[in-house]
Amino acid sequence: MSVAVTETLARMPVTTLKGVGAALAEKLYKLNIRSVQDLLFHLPRQYEDRSHVTPIGALRPGTTALVEGDVQLADVVLGRRRSLVVKVHDGTGLLTLRFYHFRLSQKDSLPRGTRLRVFGEARAGASGLEMYHPEYQVADEPLPPPPETLTPIYPVTEGVTQPRLRTLVTQALERLAREGLPDWLPPAAAQGWSLPAALRYVHAPPREADRRLLIEGRHPAQQRLAFEELVAHQVSMQKRRAEVQAQRAVALPLDPPLAREFLAQLPFPLTGAQRRVLNEIAADLHIPHPMLRLVQGDVGAGKTVVAALAACHALQAGYQVALMAPTEILAEQHAANFTRWFGALDIPVVSLLGKLGAKARREANEAIVSGSARLVIGTHALFQEEVRFHRLALVIIDEQHRFGVHQRLALKQKGIDGQTSPHQLIMTATPIPRTLAMSAYGDLDTSVIDELPPGRTPIQTLVIPNERRAEIVERIRAQCLTGRQAYWVCTLIEESEQLQAQAAEATFAELLVALPELRIGLVHGRLKAAEKSAVMQAFKDNELQLLVATTVIEVGVDVPNATLMVIENPERLGLAQLHQLRGRVGRGAQQSFCVLLYQTPLGHLGRERLSTMRDTTDGFRIAEKDLELRGPGEVLGTRQTGLLQFRLADLLRDAPLLPAVQVCARDLLARDPASADALLERWVASREHYAQV
């Protein structure tokens, strides 16, 4: 159905519903509910069965049930905490209702003999079965029979209760029955469910419905709605991609001689995967529209060399290249590598880092705006308005998930004379499961460097309890005295009794005493940038044998002589972060080891994480497990979670839908762009950052 059918419910303010005045409308606005349609698509997150009354005598601890009975007593009891206690009897048994938050008027409203309908979870208490803060209704007149449907539980906000929201949704469903809603999915995608039927079922499932299936979001009615939500998300991504690609970019040479000169000076050959990805990048750069390509590669796969060779295409044609990294440590390392590589080719590299003094920053900015700085490397400092490029043609962004989408897109404004957008190459050493990449980075083409350079020895991972700490210290001593280097990674900077994790400073002091013959350094996020750089450089130059560090070393530190890493409290970290840290060793030909030194007892989730780390070094397998254990928001990082706050869809659960979702979104945009816009408004208009470019 085309959007030509007036979508009246989308235009109908929620204030047209009975009982919604300006004050309630403002509270509903906090839930992104403005129209009747918004209310219909504010979907339940849980269901309760209140469809039958359970005799009090049949209640068991841990069961959630609806009961009815008469008040025998209502009194305020003074114990460790003051509480209102209400005794209810139904002829089969006695139940105590306990309220810690109450008003005296509440007690007065429950005289002996008052009939109540109560819903809550029964627990074993001092006086038998109790319910804490249950919902209840006073039967001033005969209560209606229990509902014939499961009771939905909605996301709410302060001032909007579940009963109020259910009443409003019931009104909205009545309007839906009269007005209808346009349905833009093809019949195959609708899975036999019309849009009104799916909405009615999800808001008010019959009491015989499979509650477990509904709670898991796997009921066909929910899947039909999840499919539509994912299509709306893909429409947003594809529109954003189309808008960016409609802009002009400079077409760069396919096979620049500079790239051949660069390759000639490398002491190692490229892998087949690196060559394949470079061909994909070269083809993109040759087109007069902005490249938008994500390059994924496991730790040590050689992404930096690929980025440098991509830069050769722009540099050969006389343009500028900017490389942006998430931390000063990583930016400095990139600057060192690029200066070494491109210095030999007479191409100047300028660093723009937060630690620069006023004079150095002014000189760097002058070099950038004049064009004498051909390669510019920095952190988020590159976003600043004062940084103006002369002829910027390519932006390389390392670890995209550390930046917000808008930070990346903001760089388009720094193109040549504001007329052309720079090409964008995004790199990540955090392998992103395909399902997540298709949704979170749907506006990007994806390349994968799925081959490690030859000569790398797989890292052996050992999972050891903290009780064997002394053995690990001795192992470090032996390793370092043979000329190798080691890391000891702590997850906190200061002592924390709550987390029972040893801090970097305490561990540093401990190891100084235990290993007096070793040269030991300490680096953490609270050091000044210059201090951090000095310690890291000393470690890289083998002036330090052991580096005690926090997770600031997670990304980009490359010391091939380091062959042993100890990670304390690894159970506190996600799998992707553990994998990143482990990748700091195993960067040479020598056998490397990673020791995961955990605190006992270890919980179920911690055991799963650590056994996964022990069993595989495959970044993509680890990423899939991380997605399963932590969810997409955590895997991508906090800056990206806004992208993935779905109302109903779940990327892990609904991954099988994604290929058909992408096809459906493309077809809808091509066939009926007005309807695609209306679908976008229906699902994501209130989350405007989806579609902004």
Return the pLDDT at 438: 67
Kindly give the residue spans of alpha helices, DSSP state H, lying in 128-219. Answer: 162-179, 187-190, 195-203, 211-215
Whether 257-449 shares its CATH topology with 460-616 is answered: yes
Instruction: For residue 545, give the amino acid letter.
Output: Q
- Domain at 460-616, CATH from 3.40.50.11750, 2.60.120.620, 1.10.3720.10, 3.40.50.300: 3.40.50.300
CA dihedral of residues 395, 400, 403, 409 (deg, nearest 10): 40
Contacts of residue 299, defined as CB under 8 A and 6 or more positions apart, other chains included, come to 429, 579, 580, 582, 583, 619
Contacts of residue 438, defined as CB under 8 A and 6 or more positions apart, other chains included, come to 658, 662
Beta-bridge partner residues of 595:
462, 566
What class, spelled out in words, does domain 56-138 have in CATH?
A: mainly beta
pLDDT digits (tens, 9 = 90+) for 519-531: 999 988 777 777 8
What's the start-to-end Cα distance of the chain, in Å? 28
Whether pLDDT at 5 is above 70: no
Whether pLDDT at 408 is above 90: no
Instruction: For residue 365, give the amino acid letter.
Output: N
CA distance 495 to 602: 20
Contacts of residue 282, defined as CB under 8 A and 6 or more positions apart, other chains included, come to 254, 255, 310, 313
With bands split at pLDDT 50, 70 and 90, how would you rate the model's confidence at 605? confident
Rounded to two decimals, the pTM is 0.69
| Average confidence score pLDDT of the chain | 86
86 neighbors 71 (Cβ within 8 angstroms): yes
Return the pLDDT at 190: 81
pLDDT digits (tens, 9 = 90+) for 466-482: 999 999 999 999 999 99
| DSSP-derived pairing of the beta strands 423-428 and 460-465 | unpaired
- The DSSP letter of residue 13 is B
Instruction: For residue 221, give the amino acid letter.
Output: A
325 neighbors 341 (Cβ within 8 angstroms): no
Domain boundaries, the chain: 8-48+151-216, 56-138, 257-449, 460-616
Structural element, H or E, at residue 138: strand 135-138
**Among 56-70, 128-142, 476-490, the least confident range:** 128-142
Structural element, H or E, at residue 338: helix 328-343
Beta-bridge partner residues of 378:
324, 352
365 neighbors 335 (Cβ within 8 angstroms): no
Whether pLDDT at 499 is above 60: no
| DSSP-derived pairing of the beta strands 392-398 and 320-324 | parallel
CATH architecture under which domain 257-449 falls: 3-Layer(aba) Sandwich (3.40)
For 566, phi then psi, to 5°, come to -110, 125
Whether pLDDT at 433 is above 80: no
**Among 77-81, 430-434, 676-680, the least confident range:** 430-434
**Among 66-80, 100-114, 240-254, the least confident range:** 240-254
